[in-house]
Structure 1
C-alpha cells in the first residue's frame, strides 16, 4: 500500500493531467465536488482535509523559527503578500480580463503559499526548513491579509464581504491546521507514520478539486482558454523569476534563493478556488484561474525541480 501512495506522490503531475482529461471528456464525472451535502460545501470540506494533513506535519518550531531567521521570513512573507497580489492585478489589467477571471486571478495572488512548495523545494535541494516555515506563517496570517488585500485591489469593482471571507478562511484553514497540530503534539509517532501517506492523499484531493472546476466550466474555458492559460503561465513564471531576483539582491545563499523563488510561485490555488466559489458565486469563471494555476504550477514545478536538482550536481 505504501508503494502505491509513493507512486501517486511521485507522479502527481501526470495524475493531474489525467484528471483534467477525464473532466474535459466527461464533465459531469466530478460534478459532485462543487455540490453541497447536508448544507456542507464539499469543495471546502476537501480543502479542510488538505490543510489538516498539513497541520499534522507542522510543529511549534516552524513558527519559532520566525524569530531565529527574521530576515528570510520577512522577505518571503512580504513578497508573498505584496508582489503576488500586485502581479495578479497587473496581468488582469494588461490582458483586460473580465470581472470573473480578474477576481479569480487576484485570489490566486492573495492566498498563502501552497504546501506543494515544500515538496518542490525538497526535490530542488532548496532550504526545506525555510520553505515549511514560510508556508506555515503565510497560511496562519492569511485570514487577515487575504480578505484585506483582495478588498483593497478589487473591492471597488467587485462586491464581496471581506468579513465572511475571513470567517471562511478560519473555517477552511486555521481550524483544520490547529487540529492537525494538536494531533501531532499528542501523537507524534502516529503522525510520523502518516507522513508516508498524507502527500499522496492531498494530491488526490487536489486532483478532485481541479477536475470538478474544469468539468463544470468546460465550455467557458474553451471559449477563453488561450488568454487565461497564457495569463496563468505568465503569473507563475514571473513570480518564479522575481523570487530569484529578490533572493539574490537580498544576499541570500543559493538554497535560500531557490526556496524564495519556489515559495513565491507556488500558491494555495485550491484555497483560491474554494474562496472564489463561496464568495464570488455569481461569477462562475472566478474558480477557473485557481484550477488552471494548480495544474500549471505542479507540472512546471516538477520540471523546475528536476533542472535545479541537476544544477547542484
Structure 2
C-alpha cells in the first residue's frame, strides 16, 4: 500500500473519531467500539505514511487491538475451539529469534573492550528497575497478582527496542546491543532470582520453573537466531551456494519435524520444573525457513540482501500486538478497574528508569553517548518476555497486564526522548 494512499486515512480517522464521540454521547455505545477500532486503525495507517509520526504507528496499532479485544474479548479467546493463549509462547519465540538474527558473536566480544560501561549498565538494569517496581507496586496497593506483574516487568532484561532508540538518540549503539545481549543471556538466573526475592511476598515463585521457561522461550530462539545471522550475513562462499542453502534449509526443517514427532516432551527436568522442547522445534524450523528464503530471494531471484531486516520488524510488531490483545481479552474486567493505575505505574517506572539510569551512569563517569545508552537500557524492558512468563509460569492474566501496558508506553516515551536527544548531539559519538 503506497504512502499516498495511506495519507487518505486521515479522512477516515476524522470521520471515525466523530462517529465514536457521537455514538458515545448519544448512548449508542454498542457502536462506539467499532468506531474506536476504525479510529485507531486509520490513524495508525496514516502515521505509517508520515515521516515524523511513523515511529508512533506501532503504539497506535496496540491501541487498536486493545480496543478490539475489550469490545470483542471472545474473538481473542479462541478460534474454532483452539485456545489463542497457546500462541503467546511461539510468538515470543519468533520475536526472540528475530532479535538473535540482529546479533553476532562480536556483540558479546565487545564486553572485553568496554567492560566498565557494560558492568555499570548490568548493575543498574537489575537493581533500579526491580526495586523501583516493588516500591511502586506497594505504593499503588495493587492486588498480589497485579503487583507481581509490575515486579516482573522490572525484573526482565532490556528490550531490543532500546537499540533503535539509542541509535536515534546518538548513543553508543554497539554498547546498547552488547548490553541487551548480555542482560538477556543472564536473565535465566537474574529474573527468577529477583522475582523470588521481591515478588515472592505476593505469589509463589518457582525459581527452576521460571529459569527453564526463559531458556525455552528466550535463550534457545536467540541462539537459533545467531545461527541464522551467520547463514544470512556470513562471508563464507559456501553460504552463497544454492545447494548448501537447500541442504541446510531442508535439513533443519526435517530436524524440527523429527523433534516435534519423536523427541520426548521434556529436554530436561528438575523436580516439577521442565525444559520443554518447543523452543528447539521453533528454532530449527526458523533456521530452515531462513536458509530456504535466502536460497529463493538471494540466489534464485537475486533480491536484496537485507530482506530479513525489513521483514522481521513487521513480524515482531504483529506478534506483539496480538499477544497484548490475547492478554487483554482475558483480563478485560480487571483492566477496567486498575487500568489507569497501571498506566500511572508504567509511566513512573519507565521515567525513573531513564532518569536514574542516565544520572547514575554519569556518576560512574561514562561519556555522554554511553549515559544515553544506559538510560534506554535501564528504562526499556523486554515486555514480551514478561508477558510470556506471566501467562506461562505464573499462570496469571492479571500479572500480564503490567507488561502489556508498559511495552507500548516505553515505545512512546523512548521515541520522545530519542527525538529530544537527537537535537542535542552527544560530545562522544557511538563507536563500532
Normalised TM-score (structure 1) = 0.91
Task: Quote the residue 1:160 is aligned against.
Answer: 205
Structure 2 match to 1:308: 421
Structure with higher Rg: it is 2
How far apart are the structure 2 equivalents of 1:7 and 1:181? Answer: 30
The equivalent of 2:62 in structure 1 is 16
Q: Which residue of structure 2 lines up, in the alignment, with residue 223 of structure 1? A: 337
Q: Contact 1:2/1:196 (CA < 8 Å) preserved in 2?
A: no
- Please state how far the C-alpha of 1:244 moved relative to its aligned partner: 1.3
Say if 2:199 and 2:205, in contact at 8 Å, map to a contact too: no
Q: Deviations over 1:18-40 (max 9, x none)?
A: 2222222222333349x757xx9
CA gap 1:244/1:215 in 2 versus in 1, 3 angstroms: same
Instruction: Report the Cα offset of residue 266 of structure 1.
Output: 0.5
Is contact 1:32–1:212 with CA below 8 Å preserved after alignment?
no
For residues 165-204 of structure 1, the aligned pairs below 5 Å read: 165-188=210-233, 190=294, 192-204=306-318
CA–CA separation in structure 1 for the residues paired with 2:405 and 2:117: 29
The C-alpha deviation readout for 1:217-271, integer Å capped at 9, x for no partner, is 1211111222222111111111111111112111222211111111111100111
**Which of structures 1 and 2 has the larger relative contact order (alpha carbons within 8 angstroms, sep 6+)?**
1
Equivalent residue in structure 1 for 2:77, among 28, 31, 45: 31
Report the equivalent of 2:324. Answer: 210
Distance 2:67 2:169 in 1: 28
Residue 92 of structure 1: how far off its partner (Å): 1.0
Unaligned runs of 5+ in 2: 7-44, 235-293, 295-304, 427-432
1:250-265 alignment, distance < 5 Å? 250-265=364-379
On the 8 A contact 1:13/1:302 being kept in 2, the answer is no
* CA distance in structure 2 between the partners assigned to 1:122 and 1:7 by the alignment: 20
> Which stretch shows the higher mean deviation, 46-55 or 271-280?
271-280
Specify which of 145, 150, 170 is matched with residue 125 of structure 1. 170
- In structure 1, the residue corresponding to 2:357 is in which secondary structure? helix
Number of corresponding residues? 309
Gaps (5+ residues) in structure 1? none
Distance in structure 2 (CA, Å) of the matches to 1:303 and 1:236: 13
Aligned partners of 2:187 and 2:214 also within 8 Å: yes
Q: Provide the secondary structure at the position in 2 that maps to 1:28.
A: helix
Output the aligned Cα RMSD: 2.4
The 1:226–1:210 alpha-carbon spacing in structure 2 relative to 1, beyond 3 Å, is same
Once the 2 structures are TM-superposed, how far is the Cα of residue 74 of structure 1 from its aligned partner?
Answer: 0.2
Give TM-score, length-normalised by structure 2: 0.67
Q: Deviations over 1:175-205 (max 9, x none)?
A: 1001110111233165743112212221111
Q: Spell out, residue by residue over 1:151-196, the C-alpha distance to the aligned partner (whole angstroms, 9 max, x if none).
A: 1112244213111111100000111001110111233165743112
Conserved? CA contact 1:54–1:177, under 8 Å = yes
